[in-house]
Structure 1
Amino acid sequence: MTLKMTTAVLAITAATSPLAARAQSMIELDEIIVSGGLTPIDAARYGRSATVLTGEELEERGVASVQEALRLVPGVSVSGSGASYTQVRIRGGESSHTLILIDGIEAAGGDGEYILTGLETANIERIEVLRGPQSAFYGSNASAGVINIITKKSSGSGLHYGGTVEAGSGWAVSGFVTHRGEKGGVSLTYAKRNDEGYDYSGSGGEKDGITRETWQFAADYELLPGLTMGATFRHSEETYDYDSESWTAATAGEYVVDDPTQWSDREEQTAQVWLEYESLGGRMVNRLSYERTDYDQGYNGVAPTETETEVLKYRLSYGIDGTVAAANHMVTLMLENAQDSSTTNSLYNRETNSIAAEYRGSFAPGLDLQVGIRHDDNDQFGNVTTWNAGVSYTLASGIRLHASAGKGSVNPSYYELFANDTYSGITYTGNTDLKPEENTSFDIGVEVPFAAGRGTIDVTYFNETLTDEITSVMADATTYTYINQTGDSDRQGVELAARFEATEQLSLRAAYTYLDATNPDGSVEQRRPEHTLTLGATWTSLDGRLLLNGDLRYVAGNYDAQYFGSYAVEKLPDYTVVDVSAQYAVTDTVKVTGRVLNLFDDDYSDTWGYASRGRTAYIGLSSSW
């Protein structure tokens, strides 16, 4: 999955350094993991487990939403109560233990996890998935991993523009325009999808649709030699329908009730302004940035809950034996102040001051090391120290060994700390003595090339232990509160990823995850399938103008709580889903696209009681100049 990027692309990606943007010519780089630490890193040097999905690959495979894209990644479990409430779990961790970023900025405001609904892959440059604890670089909620969604920015010199249109069970449009000159670049993107949806209850009732609209702006400019300024701004609005749940249901079919009166709207804004200064001939880079996330959500016309996060960061990188862009040994220091709040309660405000450091070194040919540490001082529950280390070693044969270990943390939520509510005679009270949850982890793997380099296979074993897991318990007959559990939640498994260029026309790929995840009492963790397998093939013809693609996903050993009948945790039926897509280049700049989801119209579910979407077809056009 080699990625060719211009240095200009790196310049205006929020999480990466704009140093290289001042180059005038096109430079071919190795694949870069933008989110791999405090600064970007070559994938070949990276010791931790990561997957990169490029926008081009997602387009070829007919993947239109981020949640569907994440189903293709080993080590990732995606489950939803309908399409409007999708959660992501990495290596068996809780969904709140995965931090989702958009251009390096937290997607959810306050302490909430980011729920994926109608987030489009249109105008996305790439999605990076980092597995294992990343709190040493990203703080709380990165305990199990990080997903960084990097949007399309200006690349190459001059003016570029294009767009897409698609119809079938609704419609979608997107467009972009970018320009890059000698001193900087600017980009503007737009995407809107009106998805007719489907009936989550499975009773043939009203379709539960989603409408989402997103604008995004990004720019960077070289103010003086060595001094560059940039900014990004994203605004999204979404409205979706959902169904009710019956707490007196006796069966899965009765649990979700078709309800045309239920709807929600949400508004998201993320913004960043940064200033970067290069000195000592490129050996030192100072970067100052301000980030803000506003996330508002309301239900059925009631005033929305407004949450926000503000982050001020200073980062200094120093190349010990050369420029930051090319040094074999580099150290980076980061200082951060984060404040978040919610309109739900004035107590739901907190502040964290953090300091983090990272060292990266390349030693004997093929040996690379990364080490990071972070200390967080939170005004609600004290101090947390987290760390991360990774090593990669490439043998002369091309076989690459990689391993990592680390410790991550997750702060107690506002509600777990300060709850004081009563519903239907049941009272929920917070516990201000809660400690952060902590996840310690290690993994070890090997990446093996075969067939004269036309294929690779990567196998990784991982082992993670969650301590002080927070859960709700009954304090008395009518009161629930929250405690840190005694004992460990253990998770281990194997991740496999393989690609093979079988011929010049046929490309094959596979991903598999085995996961064993248990609670402290030995019971199975919910919504974490034991087996997940994806197989895919892409075939090109007519001198590359015609592309056909197919993907199969098999899920087995998934358990979920039945909130009906006996209220037991039961195994969901195993399932297999097949998606296909095609595209034909009418000209060098215009393509006709088509895709069919759930080709064989199979019934399946990741959550008890919620129906799946049946066979759905789309046809569209895309263009780029």
Structure 2
Amino acid sequence: MSKYLFLFSTVLISAPTFAQDADDREIIPVISDGQPNPAITVTGNGIGTAVGNTGQSVTIIDRDEIDAIQGADATRVLQRTPGMSLTRNGGIGGFSGVSLRGANSEQLLVLVDGVRVADPASPSGGFDFGNLLLGTAGKFDIQRGSNSTIWGSDAIGGVVDVTTRGTSGFAGNFEYGSRDTLFASAAGGLSDDRYYVGLTGSWFRTDGFSAAASGSERDGFEQVALGGSLFYDVTPGLEVFAHANWSEGKLDIDGFPPPDYALADTLETQETRRHWGDVGFTWSTNDLTLRGAYSLADTERDNFDDAGAESFASDGHSERVQLRGEYRAIGPVTVSFGAEQEWTDFVTSFDTAAKTSIFGAYAQIGVEMGRFAAHVGSRIDDHELFGTNGSYGADLSYGFGEDWRVKASLGEGFKAPTLFQLLSFYGNADLQPEESTSFDLGVEKGERGRGTHLALTGFRRDSKDLIGFAFSTARPFGFYDNTARARAQGIEAEAGFDLAEGLRLSGVYSFVDTEDRISGNDLARRPQHFGTIFADYQAPFGLKLGADLRIVGKSYDDAGNFTRLGGYEVLDLRAAMPVSEAFEVYGRVENVFDTDYQTASGYASTPRGVFAGVRAKL
């Protein structure tokens, strides 16, 4: 009932604005220090709007911040996001799961340039951030909270859209450090008034350390990645575009050898090959914007045992056609709409090829007038196997004072069962989608990364029909079933201050209380308390100094809450110094105090490391 009251109240608040003049429809961003907010998000509405004009909770991390943090590891950047906790099986390249506001890592929709990149062949259909390095990443656009109204399946915890790195001219870096780690990346592009074409690439290798906390044999990782973008203005109102990305990596992994079948050193390896991309167009007039695209994504994995023989292989593939649009109807009123058809298929060493499809369409009415913005929308999806699913959502934002705003959102999310859960040896063709309803309410001053920034958000998400493995004698071991319900609620806080000329101190803190509504236990690997404090200083002569302190509380490793994971604190220090207009030298110390901790029981985490490099911009 609460969601319907929220939708109704949003419409009532918006109704008086329908009578405003056409000039009132201009989007006015949040003001901070007399400057407009340049941050544009696509995760909130699928088209693009100023962060200050959405009631959704959004964090944007751009390339300048990525460069300042240094290195290839995406998790060191993501830990600056409120509500985001992380788990990893060993070192960089090992499976890395991201949880937003206590949701399962598989309940996070991950896009690269708007293309869905999760592996359809993985059992739960999640995205492994261990395969995403920062050399080819240009920006992270992160929306927290259920938003299947705009994005369809998987957007229960939120949405992460990664933009491929692009630059005019040339930019690149090379660094070397502990554990014989090498990381090189480059990006270049050409452009004029009508076109842009860019290429980017990265190479990473490390000898690593034992993924098993009890082991001593090094588990290395190597990856090569390439990306490209093309934009061309056919006419003043018509642009065509294309993106293409490819990566190939090899990871040493530890397994569970006999006779103990406990995590220990092995010589097993995993090779992962991924490619994805899209082609499309954007057509704009004074009142209408249309964006259409065809996209595909493919992930192949091959596992090899100690003797080098293939022990498992899988291939997950998806294709999608979509059309999104926005029509400025009357005065400040906009109508956003879209439709998409997706086809997915998979095959593994033990499962025959299977495929399915899903169609979805949505519409959203928005009002953006001055410092007030509100949106209400709904969506319908039709899956080839489980039938139809409806989603609803709404948000509002209101600016007041010099640079304050209040914001609120209500969203529903769903996650379609994966092909593995539906049609594998352990599958269940009668599965229904996982569903969630979330809402949040917050207040914010200023904008992230500049001036005085303060934000406080409270949230809650209730999920049902969660898919788990049901042990049964009806077939060997059991099968997948809709067995669980869960709740997550808490508070996110952000703050940032310019303490002195060139010195800025920022931080994020999250309290996330999760509960399995069947057993009453805490959800596994979801700490209640976690946060990051980060400081940056730039001296008048160019020297840059920085520090990141990650603080994480205790959690349980398992659903039964039998195995406890201890809390930990990890400090990283970094420095950079320009030596000319084109070149900069930099370095960092990760895990300064060599903290020994685990985010997944039995798996080691990154020890102390020292790295140095050079960066060029021409």
TM over 0.5: yes
**The residue matched to 1:117 in structure 2 has which SS?**
helix
- Deviations 1:584-604 (CA, angstroms, capped at 9, x unpaired): 011111100101110011101
- Deviations 1:37-72 (CA, angstroms, capped at 9, x unpaired): 121010111101111111211221235321221122
Which residue, out of 264, 267, 273, partners 1:257?
A: 264
- Give the gaps of 5 or more residues in structure 2: 1-34
1:576 maps to 2:565: no
Report what 1:89 is aligned to: 99
Would you say the 8 A contact 2:60–2:139 is kept in 1? yes
1:137 maps to 2:150: yes
1:356 maps to 2:362: yes
- Deviations 1:99-128 (CA, angstroms, capped at 9, x unpaired): 111111111242621112142222422111
Report what 2:463 is aligned to: 466
Would you say the 8 A contact 1:536–1:552 is kept in 2? yes
Which residue, out of 53, 58, 68, partners 2:66?
A: 58
Q: Evaluate the alpha carbon distance shift between residue 622 and residue 321 of structure 1 in structure 2; reply closer, same or farther with a 3 A threshold.
A: farther
Report what 2:27 is aligned to: none
- Deviations 1:369-402 (CA, angstroms, capped at 9, x unpaired): 1223211101010001112211111112422111
Report what 1:597 is aligned to: 590
Deviation at 1:205, TM superposition (A): 2.1
1:401 maps to 2:406: yes
Report what 1:534 is aligned to: 532
Higher relative contact order (CA 8 A, sep 6+): 2
1:274 maps to 2:313: no
Report what 1:114 is aligned to: 127
1:618 maps to 2:595: no
1:414 maps to 2:425: no
Q: 2: distance between equivalents of 1:347 and 1:225?
A: 45
Deviation at 1:81, TM superposition (A): 1.4
**The residue matched to 2:385 in structure 1 has which SS?**
coil
Q: 2: distance between equivalents of 1:247 and 1:438?
A: 40
Deviation at 1:358, TM superposition (A): 2.1
Report what 1:12 is aligned to: none
Give aligned-pair identity as a percent. 27
**The residue matched to 1:242 in structure 2 has which SS?**
strand
Pairs within 5 Å for 1:182-197: 182-197=193-208
Q: Which moved more, 1:68-77 or 1:471-480?
A: 471-480
Would you say the 8 A contact 1:388–1:404 is kept in 2? yes
Residue 479 of structure 1 aligns with an amino acid whose one-letter code is F
Which residue, out of 567, 580, 586, partners 2:579?
A: 586
Report what 1:308 is aligned to: 317
Pairs within 5 Å for 1:487-506: 488-506=485-503
1:551 maps to 2:548: yes
Would you say the 8 A contact 1:201–1:610 is kept in 2? yes
- Deviations 1:310-349 (CA, angstroms, capped at 9, x unpaired): 0001223212257xxxxx3321221111000002345631
Q: 1: distance between equivalents of 2:256 and 2:514?
A: 28
Pairs within 5 Å for 1:169-568: 169=179, 170-203=181-214, 205-245=216-256, 255-259=262-266, 261-279=267-285, 282-300=286-304, 302=310, 304-321=313-330, 328-344=332-348, 345-346=351-352, 348-363=354-369, 365-420=370-425, 429-448=426-445, 454-476=451-473, 478-485=476-483, 488-520=485-517, 521-543=519-541, 545-561=542-558
**The residue matched to 2:569 in structure 1 has which SS?**
strand
Q: Evaluate the alpha carbon distance shift between residue 288 and residue 65 of structure 1 in structure 2; reply closer, same or farther with a 3 A threshold.
A: same
Would you say the 8 A contact 1:353–1:378 is kept in 2? yes
- Give the gaps of 5 or more residues in structure 1: 1-26, 323-327, 421-428
Deviation at 1:514, TM superposition (A): 0.5
Q: Which moved more, 1:329-338 or 1:106-115?
A: 106-115
Q: 1: distance between equivalents of 2:464 and 2:152?
A: 17
Q: 2: distance between equivalents of 1:366 and 1:276?
A: 27
Deviation at 1:470, TM superposition (A): 1.4
Which residue, out of 88, 100, 107, partners 2:110?
A: 100
Pairs within 5 Å for 1:146-185: 146-154=159-167, 159-168=168-177, 169=179, 170-185=181-196
- Aligned length in residues: 566
TM-score, normalised with respect to structure 2: 0.88
- Deviations 1:219-257 (CA, angstroms, capped at 9, x unpaired): 1112234222111100111111010125875xxxx9421
Q: Which moved more, 1:54-63 or 1:234-243?
A: 54-63
Q: Evaluate the alpha carbon distance shift between residue 109 and residue 612 of structure 1 in structure 2; reply closer, same or farther with a 3 A threshold.
A: closer
Deviation at 1:479, TM superposition (A): 3.0
Residue 400 of structure 1 aligns with an amino acid whose one-letter code is R
Report what 1:127 is aligned to: 140
Deviation at 1:135, TM superposition (A): 1.1
Q: Evaluate the alpha carbon distance shift between residue 444 and residue 354 of structure 1 in structure 2; reply closer, same or farther with a 3 A threshold.
A: same
Q: 1: distance between equivalents of 2:525 and 2:566?
A: 12
Q: Evaluate the alpha carbon distance shift between residue 498 and residue 135 of structure 1 in structure 2; reply closer, same or farther with a 3 A threshold.
A: same
Q: 2: distance between equivalents of 1:531 and 1:29?
A: 30
Deviation at 1:359, TM superposition (A): 2.2
Q: 2: distance between equivalents of 1:54 and 1:493?
A: 27
- Deviations 1:549-594 (CA, angstroms, capped at 9, x unpaired): 00111111211039xxxx8632211111101111001111110010
Report what 2:21 is aligned to: none
Report what 1:15 is aligned to: none
Q: 1: distance between equivalents of 2:424 and 2:79?
A: 34
Would you say the 8 A contact 2:524–2:561 is kept in 1? no
Would you say the 8 A contact 1:109–1:340 is kept in 2? no
Q: 2: distance between equivalents of 1:593 and 1:531?
A: 32
Report what 1:609 is aligned to: 602
Would you say the 8 A contact 1:63–1:69 is kept in 2? no
Residue 60 of structure 1 aligns with an amino acid whose one-letter code is A
**The residue matched to 1:611 in structure 2 has which SS?**
coil
**The residue matched to 2:557 in structure 1 has which SS?**
strand
Deviation at 1:78, TM superposition (A): 0.6
Q: Evaluate the alpha carbon distance shift between residue 28 and residue 446 of structure 1 in structure 2; reply closer, same or farther with a 3 A threshold.
A: closer
**The residue matched to 2:354 in structure 1 has which SS?**
coil
Deviation at 1:34, TM superposition (A): 2.6
Residue 387 of structure 1 aligns with an amino acid whose one-letter code is Y
**The residue matched to 1:56 in structure 2 has which SS?**
helix
Would you say the 8 A contact 1:38–1:358 is kept in 2? no
Q: Which moved more, 1:201-210 or 1:81-90?
A: 201-210
Q: 2: distance between equivalents of 1:284 and 1:454?
A: 35
Would you say the 8 A contact 1:119–1:212 is kept in 2? no
**The residue matched to 1:238 in structure 2 has which SS?**
strand
Would you say the 8 A contact 2:212–2:603 is kept in 1? yes
1:31 maps to 2:39: yes
Residue 455 of structure 2 aligns with an amino acid whose one-letter code is D
**The residue matched to 1:201 in structure 2 has which SS?**
coil
Would you say the 8 A contact 1:469–1:485 is kept in 2? yes
Would you say the 8 A contact 1:490–1:518 is kept in 2? yes
Q: 2: distance between equivalents of 1:447 and 1:188?
A: 37
**The residue matched to 1:485 in structure 2 has which SS?**
strand
Residue 366 of structure 1 aligns with an amino acid whose one-letter code is R
